[in-house]
Amino acid sequence: MACVANQFPAKAQTTGEKMYAHVIDVGQGLSVLLEFPKGAVLIDAGAAPDREVALITYLKNFFQRRPDLNNTLNSVFITHQHIDHDIALDDLTRNFKILNYLDNGRRRVTITEVNHIWMQDHYSQFGCKYEAITFDKIAAIPQHTDLTDDLIDAVGGTVDPKITVYSGAFVARPTGWSDDTYNDPNNNSMVIKVTFGSASFLFSGDLEETGIAQVLNLYAGTNALKADVMQVGHHGSRNAITTQWISTIKPKYAFISCGHWDDGRLPNGKPKIYTTYAYAHPHIESVQILEDSLTATRPVAFTATVGTKGSYMGSIPQFTTKTIHKTYATPWDGTIVVTATSTGQYTFATHQ
């Protein structure tokens, strides 16, 4: 499988009116570092269990290149409470200063939520402020514009980034939702928008179709969710992208964060649970929607492996190959660094 794109910069420095979105290759997980001239923000601190050290190492190297930031993250957002999105929270507190911590406020005690709740219980020990973001709080805002404050939008500068949140956990159960749908952390993912001058990014964690429908309904008839660059939800699963979602966001570019297609493949072809191979990420239906909808094309087309059917009760997942013209993804690009100018120009650099 080959990938050709721009070369990964040896030094990702911020000068002038530019920001950088570092989509860190953490395997089956998500962690995006947003680098601004006057600060840094982390959206999710997830990784496959064998990639957590790599995530912390990447962040350490970043702060070595940016000594002016004093090992400080202005804000850390955890979109929802699954370990592939919050596994590194403890390590973050040991290695870096966190000024503000934000999550969706859920406290359902299960094995998947221990990191989330631990941070909620201990944030003050690190001199950190905390805010819980819920859909209900946002929906109560007049005209449902968005939610922002000094914890959410904690970075300034000559070009002042704007960070807003458009959804969070559902306190009240939406009409028609089953217990499983309501209790699924994915459906309670935060939706975060970042604008830097004319540049814009949208992040949605693992938000699935039922949660997407609620968010779309809240902002129907507006351009609130429109963004040039979107994070594809749930690691490219087909339950986290719809044609209506894409037509509302109107992205030029999109990226998927997940592991290499055969991560978790045993010698007999069976999958380890909770791996990219078991889930068959990214799914061909999601990739096809992106390829049909995105307006910007990659420099060179190439062939990638995508999933057609995930594992069920230990069955062998299924994959196929597809020519990629537009979509960026960590399984075939490695870490992706998006340079965005305040005038809305984008450059994608990849490192396999």
Residue 174 burial by Cβ neighbours in a 10 Å radius (0-12, 13-18, 19+): middle
Residue 293 burial by Cβ neighbours in a 10 Å radius (0-12, 13-18, 19+): middle
**pLDDT at residue 332 above 80?**
yes
What's 271's DSSP letter?
B
**pLDDT at residue 32 above 50?**
yes
When pLDDT is averaged across residues 65-73 and rounded to a whole number, the result is 98
Residue 5 DSSP SS3:
coil
- At 56, list the tokens: 């912390």
**pLDDT at residue 200 above 70?**
yes
Residue 227, amino acid: A
Residue 282 burial by Cβ neighbours in a 10 Å radius (0-12, 13-18, 19+): buried
When pLDDT is averaged across residues 120-129 and rounded to a whole number, the result is 95
**pLDDT at residue 192 above 60?**
yes
Backbone angles phi, psi at 141, to 5 degrees: -70, 135
Q: Where along the chain do its domains lie?
A: 17-351
pLDDT of residue 314: 84
Q: Measure CA 255 to chain center.
A: 9
Q: What does CATH list as the number for 17-351?
A: 3.60.15.10
Whether 257 contacts 23, CB under 8 Å:
yes
When pLDDT is averaged across residues 98-119 and rounded to a whole number, the result is 85
**pLDDT at residue 51 above 90?**
yes
pLDDT of residue 118: 92
Predicted model pTM? 0.94
Q: What is the pLDDT of residues 267-310, one digit of tens each?
A: 999 999 999 999 999 999 999 999 999 999 999 999 999 999 99
- Mean pLDDT score of the chain: 92
Whether 271 contacts 278, CB under 8 Å:
yes
Q: Cα–Cα distance between 283 and 257 in angstroms, integer?
A: 12
pLDDT of residue 109: 62
Quick one: which of 127, 86, 99 has its CA closest to 38?
99
When pLDDT is averaged across residues 128-150 and rounded to a whole number, the result is 90
Residue ranges of alpha helices (H) inside 35-82 are: 52-65
When pLDDT is averaged across residues 140-153 and rounded to a whole number, the result is 88
When pLDDT is averaged across residues 113-135 and rounded to a whole number, the result is 93
Bond preceding residue 282 cis, omega within 30 of 0: yes
Please name the residues in contact with 176: beta carbons below 8 A apart, sequence gap of 6 or more.
Answer: none
Q: Cα–Cα distance between 348 and 255 in angstroms, integer?
A: 10
Lowest mean pLDDT among 54-68, 144-158, 263-277, 281-295: 144-158
When pLDDT is averaged across residues 16-37 and rounded to a whole number, the result is 95
Whether 208 contacts 233, CB under 8 Å:
yes
Residue 162 burial by Cβ neighbours in a 10 Å radius (0-12, 13-18, 19+): middle
pLDDT of residue 145: 72
pLDDT of residue 110: 65
Q: Kindly state the percentage of the chain with pLDDT values over 70.
A: 93
Residue 288 burial by Cβ neighbours in a 10 Å radius (0-12, 13-18, 19+): middle
pLDDT of residue 142: 84
Please name the residues in contact with 107: beta carbons below 8 A apart, sequence gap of 6 or more.
Answer: 113, 117, 120
Residue 112 pLDDT grade (very low, low, confident, very high; cuts 50, 70, 90)? low
> What DSSP string runs through 178-193?
-HHHHH-GGGG--EEE
pLDDT of residue 15: 45
Residue 3 pLDDT grade (very low, low, confident, very high; cuts 50, 70, 90)? very low
Beta strand 6-7 pairing with 346-351: parallel
